[in-house]
Structure 1
Amino acid sequence: MNSSRHYVIDFDSTFTQVEALDVLGEISLENQPDKDERLQELKSLTDRGMGGELALRESLSLRLDLLKANKNHLAPLIDVLKGKISTSFVRNEAFFEENSDHIYIVSNGFKEFIVPIVKELGIKEENVFANTFVFDDEGKIIGFDKENVLSSNNGKVEQLKALDLKGDVYVIGDGYTDYEIKAAGLANKFYAFTENIERDKVTEKADHITPSLDEFLYVHKMNKAISYPKNRIKVLLLENVHPDALQIMKNEGYNVSLQTGAMDEDELAEQIKDVSVLGIRSKTQLTKKVLDNANRLIAVGAFCIGTNQIDLEECLKKGIAVFNAPYSNTRSVVELAIGEIILLMRNLPDKIAKMHEGNWDKSASHSYEVRGKKLGIVGYGNIGAQLSVMAESIGFDVYYYDLVEKLALGNATKCNSLKELLQTVDIVSLHVDGRKENKNLIGEKQFKEMKDGVIFLNLSRGHVVDIEALKNNINSGKVNGAGIDVFPSEPKTNKENFESSLKGLPNVILTPHIGGSTEEAQENIGNFVPGKIIEYINTGSTTNSVNFPNLQLPILENAHRLIHIHHNKPGIIAHINRVLAANDINIVGQHLKTNETIGYVITDIDKAYNIEVVKELKEIKDTIKFRILY
C-alpha cells in the first residue's frame, strides 16, 4: 500500500455494471403501461448526462421525474446492485481492503443506494461522496439536495477541491464528469473504465483506457487477483470462425480481432508477432516460419477436427498448446457422406444437371438402392464409427479398416488389411487423419484392387488421394461415382478460383470442404474450442490438447499457480523445487506430465513470490516457457 496515493472511483457503470437509476426505473415503473418508453427516455438522459451533453442538475431532475420512485423501491434496488458489482472489482477485493483509507467513491448518484453497495468491498462510509434524495411524507422521491455540490455541473471538481487530497490522485470512471477532475488539475491521471460501457467522448480524453481493474493494478504494479490483465491477451481469429467464439473470448475480456479469410505464410508471420491466442480452420498453414515470429503465442485453437495444417512438433518445442474440436462436427460429416452415397448410387448428379439443361432422362439404368450394399470405411475414428452406426441403420453392410485396433460397432465387420476392404465393398469412404504417411494412401494400385463400378468418397484430407489416378479411374468406368470434399490444393478465400482435373467428370460431386460446415457444427466448435483455451489460460488444464501432455486441474483459491514448460530432461522438477525451497516457499500442490518432447509442471504455492523467484525459474536450463497464472 502506498499512503501517498489516493484513488477516486465513480459508482454507476464503474463500481457497478449498471446505472443505478436505470435499474430503479425497472423496479418503480414495473406496472406502468408506458414503462418501456419511460425507460428508453431514462437511458437517453443518462447517456447525454454522462457524455457531457446535458447539464447534470437538469439530467437528475428529468430522470427522477420519470422514475416515480418511492423509498420502498430502494431495498430491492440494493439487492439487485449487490449482484451487479463489476466483475474485476469483486475479483480484486484485496485492493479495496489494503487501500480502504485512500479509496473515495465520488458520484453524481445517491448515497442511499451507494453506501450499502460499496461497503460490500470494505469502502468506508465517510469516504463516499454522493447526492441524497428528498422524500415527501409518503416516502415518494420528489427531488434531491440541491445544496450538494455533486448535484451540479463541475460538482466532482468542487468535491475534490474540498477533499484537498495530498499526494498522487488517480481517477477511475466511465463518464465525462470523471475526466473533468483531471482537466481541473486535481488528479495525476484519468483512467477511462470500459469494462461495462465505453463512451467515445470519454475514452478520447483519457490518459489510459482500462478495460478492467486488473489493467489499472497491473500498470501500477499493485497486488492483483490475476498476474496479467486479460485485455492484454490479444486473440486473432481467422477464416470466419463462428460468432460464438468471438463473443465468448470478448466476454472473457480478451482483445479479439477477426478476419474472414485465411492469411498466407508471409502475412501471418507479420501479423502473429504480438498475438497470444490464434484461432484458425483448415486453410491457414501454421508453419515453422510463422511460429518463429510468434514470440507471445501461448495457445492455438483449430476450429475443426484436423490439425495437419499446424506444425504440432514446432508448437510443442516452443511451448504452444494446440486445441481442436475432435467431436463437434462429426454428425455433419456423416450426414453429408450418407447423402452423397445415396445421390451417387442413384446417378443423380448427372440427372440433376440434365434437368437444368432441359433434358428429361427418366430411366432406372445405373440407379440402385443402398440397402444390402457393402460400405467400406477406411479410418474408424469418431467420424468413421458414427458413419458405421448410421449406415447400418438404413441397411448397409458395413466393413471397416483402421491401423489401430478398434472395437466394431453394431454388426460392422473388421478387415485385416486395406486391400481386403477394397476388394470386398461396393462403396469406399475415407475418414483418415492428415498425417504425412497418409499422402496418396489411395492411388492407382488401390483403385485396381477395388470392385468395378465402385462408389468412392473422400471427406477426410485432400492429400490422401492421388487425384490423377482418381480421374483416370472415373473416365475408365472403374469408379462409377465419386464425392470429393477435400483437395490437395484449395483456395484460401471464397474469392479465389477453384481448379481441379475432376471438374466436369460424370457422376461426380465436388464440394468446397464443407463436410463439417453446418450451422450446428460451427456453433458447437465455436463454443468448444474457446472453452478449452480459456480453461488452459485460467487454470493450466490441457485436457484435449493435441500436442501437450493432458492435465486436468481445478481452479485454485488463496494460493498462486506457476506453470513451467521445459524440454523433457531429467532433474528439472528438482531444480524448480530447490528454487522454491531456497526462497522459503511452501508447495501446496504439484502436477507433472511429460511426453517425448516436453515436461509440463504446475506448481501451486501458498505465499506471494517476488521478482527474483520468477527470474530464477525462468533461467532454469531447458526452460521453454514460464507463466504465472495468479
Structure 2
Amino acid sequence: MTETVTKNFVIDFDSTFTSVEALDVLGSISLKDHPEKIERLKKIADVTDLAMSGELSFRESLNQRLQILDAKKEHLPILITMLNKLVSKSFKRNKAFLKEHADHVYILSNGFKEFIFPIVEKYGIKEENVHANTFVFDDLDNIVGFDEDNILSQSKGKPAKIEALKLQGEIHVIGDGYNDYEIRKEGKANRFYAFTENVSRENVVKNADHVAPSLDEILYHNKMEGALSYPKNRIKVLLLENIHENGVKIVKEEGYQIEIYPAGIDEEELCEKIKDVSILGIRSKTMVTKKVLEHANRLMAVGAFCIGTNQIDLTECTKRGIAVFNAPFSNTRSVVELAISEMIMLIRNLPDKIFSMHQGKWDKSAKGSFEIRGKKLGIIGYGNIGKQLSVLAEGLGMNVYYYDLDERLALGNATKCKSLKELLTKVDVVSLHVDGRKSNANVIGKKEFDYMKEGVVFMNLSRGHVVDIKELKKNIESGKIAGTAVDVFPEEPLSNAHEFVSELRGLPNVILTPHIGGSTLEAQENIAEFVPTKIIDYINTGTTTNSVNFPNLTLPILQDAHRFIHVHHNQPGVLANITNTLAKHDINVMGQYLKTNDTVGYVITDINKNYNKEAISDLRKINGTIKFRVLY
C-alpha cells in the first residue's frame, strides 16, 4: 500500500494571494494628498519590479520603498479594507480548500504581517503559519522601518526561513517573484509554481517547474480537489472572424486559454486548428462541417456571434454532444435600420444619382423617384427582424404585408398573406428575412420574380443562397426590378483581403453591401456580451438556456455539491440506468433535472461531495451516452 505524502503549500502574498503589491496600494493611501504623489508611486512600482525580478536586493528595495511611502499606522486599516477586495480570484474560489488544509498552508512573504494576517485569516490560514516582516513605528506612529533581525528582511531570506521551519513532507512553493523561485533554487522546495494570474515575469516563468495561471491549475496538477473540476486555463478557446473586443475580454477574464484569428478559415485549416479546442467562436463565414467536427476531440460548445447558424452542422453537433449558442435578438435593430435606409435610397434612385455626382454629372430630376409613404411593403419571413421591420415601416406610413411558413401573429396593421404568390403580386417593395435552412435555397427564383410587379424594389438581407442570382440579374437588366439591395451572397470572401466576386457588380440602382446588416458597434457589442455569457454559463453550471440544438434547461447555482452532466441519445431507459448506477454506489441525490428534444436527452444530477469515484466510470459506460462531465 502506497503511503500518502504530506504536501505543504508555501504561498507568497503580494501579487499571488492578492492581485496587487500591498506596498503600492499603501502608497496610494499614504501619498493621497502629497504633491509628488505620481512620481513617488512610479518610483515605488519601479523598485518593486526590480526586486521581484532579482535585479535589486530585497533589503535595499524595502528600505527605498518605506522611505518613499511616508506611511503611518492609521493607514493600515484602510489598506486592509482595500486588500480584502483584491484577493486573487482563484484563491477566493478555493477558500474551502485553504480552510480544509490549513495545517499545511503557509504564507511566506517579504511583506508585513500587520496587514497580511487580517487578510489571510478569513481563509482559514493560521497565524502561526504566516511568516512575514514587521513594521517599526516611532512615537508618532509613523512607519520608520522594519525589524532588521527578521530573516525575511534579508536577501535569500525565504530559503533560509523554509530551512528554519523544518517542514515535514513535500514543499510546494507558489509565487510570482524571483525570491520565491530562490527557495527552489537553494534546494529547499520540491517544486516551484510560477503564479501568473496577476503578473508574469519572464525570468521567473523560465525557471519554474510549472507555470500556474491560477490556484485551480496547481490543485489539478496535484490531483487535489478544488473549486473547479477542470482548470479554466486548460480550456482552449478559438475565436475567428474579428470577434468584438468585448467578447474577447469576457472570455479572457474567465481565465480561458485563447487563440484569436482575424478572418474566417477554410475547412482544412479548421480541421487542424480545432483538435484541442473546447470552445469555438465564429461569425458567418466559417463553416463548421461534419468533417471539421470529426477532428474536434474536445469541443464542448460553439458560439455563433451572429443570428444565423446555417454555417454550422447542427445535427452533427447534437450527435456529438456539442452545444451551440447564437445571438438571435442582438443585431435585430441594426438589420432593420439598414433595410429601412436602403429601401428609401432605392425608391429614390439614389445609388445611380450618387454615382453620377461622383462622375461630375448633375442630374436634378424627380423622374423615377418616389416616397415610401403609402407604398406596399412585403416581408418574407416574419421572425424577429421581420416583425420589427413591420413596425418601423408602418410608422413611416407604409402598408405592410407578410408571409411566413409558420403561424405568426400580425403586429400593428400588418396583413398576413396566405401564399408567397399573393404577397409578391401585391407589393411595391419585397424584403427577404428568412432563415438559412437548406429548404430555403432559391426560395426566390424565376417563378417568384415573374409574380412581382413591374418596377418593384427587391431586398435580400437574410441569406445568400435563398435567391437565384442569375434570375435576379436578368430582372434587374430588364428593368422589372427598379432597385436592388443585397447584403448576403451565395459565396462570400473569407476576409477583407479577398476579392468580392458577383454577377451583380456594376448593375444600375443596385446597393451591394459586404454582409454588414448586423455590423454596427451596438449590435456587435450586444452579441459579444450575449454569446460568451451563455457559453460560460453552460461550461460552469450546465445551463443550456438559448442553446440552438440542446434541450433548454436553466439550472440553479451549484451549492456545496457535485454536479453530473450526462448527454445521451434520446432513447428509453437512460434515466433509469443513471438512477440505478447512482443507487448502486450509494450516492445521495440532492437534485435531478431532465429535458429532451428529438435527438438528445440532457440529465443533470446534483449529489453529495463524498462519493465513490468508480461511479463516474459506470456512468460513462451507460448505453446511449454521448458525453459526461463532472462539475464541482
- Normalised by the length of structure 2, the TM-score is 0.99
In the alignment, structure 1 residue 538 sits paired with structure 2 residue 525 = no
Structure 2 SS opposite 1:366? coil
Moved more, 561-570 or 160-169: 160-169
Residue 439 of structure 2, aligned match among 437, 440, 449: 437
1:234-313 to structure 2, matched below 5 A, reads 234-313=236-315
Higher mean alpha-carbon deviation, 158-167 vs 468-477, is at 158-167
Comparing 100-109 with 303-312, greater Cα deviation is found at 100-109
Query: C-alpha distance in 2, partners of 1:383/1:400?
Result: 12
Aligned-partner Cα distance in 2 for 1:603–1:7? 33
2:319 maps to 317
Aligned amino acid, residue 298 of structure 1: M
Structure 2: how far apart are the matches of 1:591 and 1:331?
36
Matches within 5 A, 1:174-573: 174-573=176-575
Alignment of 1:167 with 2:169, yes or no, is yes
Deviation digits for residues 35-82 of structure 1, max 9, x if unmatched? 222212211111111111111111111111111110011111111112
Provide the rounded CA distance (Å) in 2 between the counterparts of 1:64 and 1:262.
53
**Residues 585 and 612 in structure 2, CA contact (< 8 A), matched pair in contact too:** no
Equivalent position to 1:141, from 128, 140, 143: 143
- Mapping 1:24-173, distance limit 5 Å: 24-173=26-175
Task: Give the distance between the partners of 1:416 and 1:202, measured in 2 at CA.
Answer: 71
- The reply to whether residue 596 of structure 1 matches residue 598 of structure 2 is yes
User: What percent of counterpart residues are identical?
Assistant: 66
Is the CA contact (8 Å cut-off) linking 1:94 and 1:223 kept in structure 2?
no
Whether the aligned pair in 2 keeps the contact of 1:384 and 1:431 (CA below 8 Å) is: yes
Report the alpha carbon displacement of residue 2 of structure 1 after superposing the two structures with TM: 5.5
The whole-number CA distance in structure 2 between the counterparts of 1:222 and 1:548 is 32
| Amino acid aligned to 1:601 | V
In 1, the alpha carbon distance for the partners of 2:367 and 2:314 equals 49
Match for 1:275: what amino acid?
V
Q: What are the Cα deviations for residues 423-462 of structure 1, in whole angstroms up to 9, with x where unaligned?
A: 1100000000000010000001000101000000000000
Greater CA drift, 190-199 or 287-296 = 190-199
Deviation per residue, 1:521-573 (Å, 9 max, x gap): 11110000000000001111100000000001111111111100000111111
Q: Write the letter of the residue equivalent to 1:254.
A: Y
SS at match of 1:273: coil
Between the aligned partners of 1:626 and 1:292, the Cα distance in structure 2 is: 18
Equivalent residue of 1:494, what SS? coil
Residues of 2 paired with 1:544 and 1:145: CA distance? 59
* Preserved CA contact (<8 Å) 1:583 1:613: yes
Letter in 1 for 2:478: S
| CA distance in 1: counterparts of 2:63 and 2:412, whole angstroms | 74
User: Does the 8 A contact of 2:5 with 2:170 survive in 1?
Assistant: no
Q: Distance in 2 between matches of 1:4 and 1:399?
A: 75
CA distance in 2: counterparts of 1:346 and 1:101, whole angstroms: 80
Report if the CA contact (8 A) 1:585-1:607 is conserved. Answer: no
CA deviation vs aligned residue, 1:188-230 (integer Å, no higher than 9, x gap): 1100111111112211111111111111010111121111011
Deviations 1:371-418 (A, max 9, x none): 111111100101000111111111111111111111111111111111
Contact 1:305 1:326 in 2 (8 A): yes
Q: Distance in 2 between matches of 1:325 and 1:85?
A: 34
Deviation readout 1:273-305 (Å, 9 max, x if unpaired): 000000000000000000001010000000000
Query: What secondary structure sits across from 1:239 in the alignment?
Result: coil
Conserved? CA contact 1:426–1:451, under 8 Å: yes
Unaligned segments of structure 2, at least 5 residues:
none
Matched residue SS, 2:45: helix
Q: Which runs of 4+ in 1 moved over 4 A?
A: none
SS in 2 for 1:562: strand
Tell me, in whole angstroms, the C-alpha distance in 1 between the residues paired with 2:362 and 2:601.
66
Alignment RMSD (CA, Å) = 1.0
Equivalences, count = 630
Question: What is the DSSP-based 3-state SS (H/G/I as helix, E as strand, rest coil) of the residue aligned with 1:566?
Answer: strand
Show CA shifts across 1:13-51 (max 9, x none).
111111111111111111222222221221111111111
Alpha carbons 1:303, 1:324 under 8 Å: kept: yes
Contact 1:456–1:483 (8 Å) recurs in 2: yes
Letter in 1 for 2:471: A
Alpha carbons 2:238, 2:280 under 8 Å: kept:
yes
Given that residues 191 and 209 in structure 2 are in contact (C-alpha distance below 8 angstroms), is that contact kept between their aligned partners in structure 1?
yes
- Separation of aligned partners in 1, 2:540 and 2:101: 26
Displacement of 1:145: 1.1
- 5+ residue gaps, structure 1, are none
For residues 313-360 of structure 1, the C-alpha deviation after alignment (integer angstroms, 9 at most, x for no partner) is 000000000000000000110010011001101111111111111111
* CA apart distance, 1:584: 0.8
TM-score w.r.t. structure 1 length?
A: 0.99
Distance of 1:277 and 1:571 partners within structure 2? 31
Pairwise CA distance, 1:164: 2.3
**Matched residues in 2 for 1:481 and 1:609: separation?**
68
Looking at structure 2, the residues matched to 491 and 176 of structure 1 have their Cα atoms a distance apart, in angstroms, of 49
Q: Are 1:3 and 1:102, in contact at CA under 8 Å, matched by a contact in 2?
A: no
Q: Aligned partners of 2:42 and 2:584: how far apart in 1?
A: 62
- Equivalence for 2:614: 612
Q: Please say if 1:23 is aligned against 2:28.
A: no
Paired with 1:590 and 1:221, the residues of 2 have a C-alpha distance of 27
Contact 2:544–2:554 (Cα < 8 Å) also in 1: yes
Give the drift of 1:609: 3.0
CA contact (8 A) 1:104 1:128 kept: yes
1:578, 1:625 → 2: CA distance? 18
One-letter amino acid of the counterpart of residue 617, structure 2: K
Contact 2:234–2:256 under 8 Å retained in 1:
yes
Between 1:300-309 and 1:599-608, the stretch displaced more is 599-608
Letter in 2 for 1:169: I
Give the 3-state SS of the residue equivalent to 1:278 in structure 2: strand
Q: Distance in 2 between matches of 1:237 and 1:162?
A: 50
